Amino acid sequence: MSIENLRRYIQLFDAQEDNAKEQKALLQEQLGVMEEKRDDLQAAIDHLNYKLNHFYDHMESTEEELRALEREHADKVAKQDDGSNRNF
């Protein structure tokens, strides 16, 4: 709960009149904020679990792609070096 809302809640609590509805509204607002944070955190946890559960599947295919790119780059550099050596 924000400091401002907490102060407001305490003011309502300390007041002489019946502020139960406004107090309840502040609590419901805070509940909504906390549920949204919980949902965001749960989404991040679910994403991390997915990554962990599929770590090796993803890593193997990604590593294969990187090795292929490295081979292509090495072949390209070798061809460029062969072409530049012929000019001498």
- Yes or no: say if 26 and 9 are a contact pair by the CB < 8 Å rule: yes
For 13-62, write each residue's pLDDT tens digit.
Answer: 788 888 889 988 988 999 999 999 999 999 999 999 998 998 888 888 88
0.85 exceeded by pTM: no
Angle at 66 between CA 47 and CA 75, to 5 degrees: 165
Nearby residues of 31 by Cβ (< 8 Å), 6 or more positions away = none
80 phi/psi in degrees, rounded to 5: -65, -40
